[in-house]
Structure 1
Amino acid sequence: MSLTLLLPLGLAALAALAIPLLLHLNRRQQQRAILFAALRWIAAPAQPRRRLRLEQWPLLLLRLLLLAAVALLLARPFGPGAGHGARDWVVVVPGVDAAAARARLSAGAAQWHWLQPGFPALDTVQPGPADARDVASLLRELDSELDPATRLHVIVPSVVRGLDGGAIALSRAVDWLSVDLAPAGPAAPRQTPVQKISLRRSGDAPGEVYLQAAVSAWNEDGEARYRLEREDAAAAIDAATAYVFWLGGDLPPPLQHWVEAGGTALLAQAATADFATLVRDGNGNALLKVRTLGQGRLLAFAAAPQPALLPALLDAQFPEWLLLSLRQNPLRLDQASAAAVQPVTGAPRGDAGLHDLGLSLALLIALLALAERALSFFYARRRA
């Protein structure tokens, strides 16, 4: 068991161990001389060699342990998490019916859990609503907490959200199974809400024609689900705006505040040194980058949106990967394509987290203190 100390300087209190050692040294050499006249002419016997002796060594041992525990508590000890044991685990992504999940896999005595924060048991709770934490991060967290020998099964619905666009690298092989969602019956016809995209520019920044073509491609099935509107750069952003395309330099204050409150903006020109790569082409070259700003996201092209610098603008897949990036990559899976996002093995095992040992150590100190007082009282009574 590895131990981590947040305040190693607290171990300096171990110097106090010298105090009970000094108190328990044999002090019988302190004798009082009594003179007898009859013994004045008798030669004094040879003095025996004095040896250091420890009195009441069980009490001394308790006091030493008590001081050592206090010093360790002052150093703020943390130990590794307890983990989840070595039995097989089956995690079910919310959206899959529990009965359908059990019918999909026969796992014997495996533990069944929902893939949600805390990994609640499948039969004890109902799955909550979709959580902000994504599927990929929860799988990585579980991989770090499970025993290395535990086999992991993951059952996902035919529609999976929360994947972060890349392969999920885990330290173990995963049995990845997909379950079709149960049909909900004939759906009543409904009007698909139109999402507004605000196009704002400053100067002669390039890229507008390619963004217009992308929005047109999103509506190519005849249903106008996206509406591109040109607006003034300093205008307020209304609640109906889904995304903002900014063709300019620095973000104007209204746009910056909107993104910080949770919006998503696509920038045509931006310094991307602190951005992470979100989309790459087949040769590994960056196409689109991303960074967070407050509660929202900023997406930026890796180069100026011109075919000479960014040939992917002319690719037929450009509208698709741009829309997926704006949507944070919701992916639809079926039985044939589930392997496309199946986790890969070979990643180093993550840190299972640290557990604060302060409470356990405080209880130990309390028990040692009680034992020390009881034993000290016993020795005092025996001397009396």
Structure 2
Amino acid sequence: MSFLLPAGLFGLFALALPLLVHLVRRPPTETVPFAALRWLGDVARPQRQWRLRQWLLLLLRLLLLAVLALLLAEPVRQAGPDNQRVRAVSPQLPAPAPVEGLRDVWLAEGFPTIAADTPVSPADQPISSLLRQLDAQLPPGASLQVFVGPMLDGTDGQKPQLSRAVDWQVQAAPDATPATDAETDAGRTAAAPRLVLRHDDSEAQRASLRVWQALAAAWQADDAAGSNADIAPLTAPLPSLDSDTLLVWLADAPLPEAAQSHTANGGRVLVAAAIDADTPALLDNGQGAPLLARAADGRWVLAAPLTPAAVPRVLEADFPARLLAALQPAVTAARADAADHAPLTGAASLFAPTPQPLAPLLAVLIAALFLIERLLACWPRREAA
């Protein structure tokens, strides 16, 4: 139990008033001579019951004042620990089958309860913000399971950090081709880039050229051989760069002026460099290390050469589609691969349980004590015989 207004407890000092009155007050005594009764013996007055009643009255009045002081302090009772299990599902996915003991909610504004016959449209609120809000609303003892689609379009640039471990499950979208094929087709028809690559003479970068040629072939539906890709050493001049061009600069040499202008105009430029620890990764290398990230200046940063030894993920069939999805023109920090965007732990719990006020119970108790006190104070006193 806690108090919303602890200063009300100063009312407990009022307990001294009835105590002092009880100790100071004495019943008035007066001797009245009466000749006709001089031969009668002394008769004891029945004071025992009256004194007991006085002590009961004192106790009731003290208790009444104490409860009044508590009422002024506005006591509340905090909710106890909650071990509920919650499953949050992205509105892009179908409603899951209900499980006993599991509370299902949509990962949308207000977190409505899932009903199979009540579809919920995707919310405009970023998914990272929704996850933090849901984490703050759940008590520390609650477990959280999250179902999301392959791609997240509502992130805020970094993996959300929550106060609890999350069972993060990436589900395939319903009524569609497999995610890899769908993403590949979307990349080909929407914004498949024209690859312009310049590399130095390092062995690692030259070994990655075969992977880049395969990526260009996978991205271009009408160019299976990848002949549309312009892959050359640093000495080769750059062609004209437009919004459909992806410039890949695999060298330690600084970007030429044309490439810097392309970056300043919002063009896509990918450079080989180390990824800062504070920069959220869009892809990893398949072993947990960051591979691709978006720098503050708008350029994409590739942390390792695309070789099977350095990046085992290049051997996965969906790697071209996932890399292309991360390099789309509309891709900002608000879009990320769901598999690489699982929430982190370590944040402080922001759970604020709703306190339950005790004022109604105290009001009933005060009324009962006052009624008992009045009945006892007005009870007729038994006179002497």
In the superposition, the TM-score normalised over structure 1's length comes to 0.51
2:105 paired residue number:
113
Aligned residue number for residue 353 of structure 1? 352
Q: What is the match of residue 195 of structure 1?
A: none
Q: Tell me if structure 1 keeps the 8 A contact 2:88–2:105.
A: yes
Query: Is 1:158 aligned to residue 150 of structure 2?
Result: yes
Greater Rg by CA = 2
Q: Are the counterparts in 2 of residues 25 and 54 from structure 1 also a CA contact under 8 Å? A: no
> Is 2:215 aligned against 1:217?
no
Aligned to 2:9: 11
- Counterpart CA distance in 2 for 1:191 and 1:328 is 16
Q: Determine helix, strand or coil for the equivalent of 1:130.
A: coil
> Is 1:93 matched up with 2:90?
yes
Give, in whole Å, the separation in 2 of the partners of 1:314 and 1:381: 86
| Partner of residue 383, structure 1 | 380
Residues 148 and 353 (structure 1), Cα distance of their counterparts in 2 relative to 1, 3 Å cut: closer
Residue 354 of structure 2 aligns to which amino acid in structure 1?
A: H
Partners in 2 of 1:30 and 1:142 — Cα distance? 70
- The answer as to whether partners of 1:89 and 1:153 remain within 8 angstroms in 2 is yes
Q: What aligned pairs does 1:359-370 form with structure 2 within 5 A after superposition?
A: 360-370=357-367
Q: Which runs of 5+ in 1 are unaligned?
A: 45-49, 193-206, 220-279, 288-310
What stretches of structure 1 move > 6 A for 4+ residues in a row?
Answer: 322-328
CA distance in 1, matches of 2:168, 2:301: 28
Deviation of 1:340 (Å): 1.3
- Do the aligned residues in 1 keep the contact of 2:262 with 2:268 (CA within 8 Å)? no
Task: Determine the structure 2 residue equivalent to 1:261.
Answer: none
Amino acid at match of 1:172: R
Distance (Å, rounded) in 2 between the aligned partners of 1:363 and 1:325: 60
Determine the C-alpha separation between the residues in 2 that align with 1:325 and 1:377. 81
Give 2:166's match in structure 1, choosing from 174, 179, 195: 174
CA distance in 1, matches of 2:140, 2:149: 26
Percent sequence identity is: 35
The C-alpha deviation readout for 1:266-321, integer Å capped at 9, x for no partner, is xxxxxxxxxxxxxx97234789xxxxxxxxxxxxxxxxxxxxxxx98595549x9x
**Residue identity opposite 1:329 in structure 2:** A
CA distance in 2, matches of 1:68, 1:328: 62
2:354 counterpart SS class: strand
Deviation at 1:122, TM superposition (A): 1.2
| Counterpart secondary structure, 2:147 | strand
Alpha carbons 1:24, 1:55 under 8 Å: kept: no
Give the aligned CA root-mean-square deviation in angstroms: 5.2
> Aligned partners of 1:178, 1:210: CA distance in 2, in Å?
37
Quote how far apart the aligned CAs of 1:32 are.
2.9
- Taking a change above 3 Å as real, the CA distance of residues 282 and 168 of structure 1, as seen in their structure-2 partners, is same
Q: Quote the residue 1:138 is aligned against.
A: 130
Measured at CA, do residues 153 and 370 of structure 1 come closer, stay the same or move farther in structure 2, by a change above 3 Å? same
- Of residues 302, 308, 331, the one that matches 2:335 is 331
Partner of 2:249: none
Name the structure 1 match of 2:288. none
What count of residue pairs does the alignment treat as equivalent? 264
Letter in 2 for 1:340: D
Give 2:343's aligned residue.
343
**Aligned letter for 2:267?**
A
Q: CA deviation at 1:154?
A: 0.5
SS at 1:382's partner residue?
Answer: coil
- Kindly provide the CA deviation profile for residues 114-139 of structure 1, in whole angstroms up to 9, marking residues without a partner as x: 2345433212864355143x333433
CA pair 39-73 structure 1, distance change in 2 beyond 3 A:
closer
3-state SS of paired residue (1:177): strand
How far residue 349 of structure 1 moved from its aligned partner, in angstroms, is: 4.4
Contact 2:161 2:344 survives alignment (8 Å): yes
Aligned to 1:197: none
Q: Deviations over 1:53-89 (max 9, x none)?
A: 6746666555445433443443455554566x31322
Q: Separation in 2 of the partners of 1:171 and 1:323?
A: 31
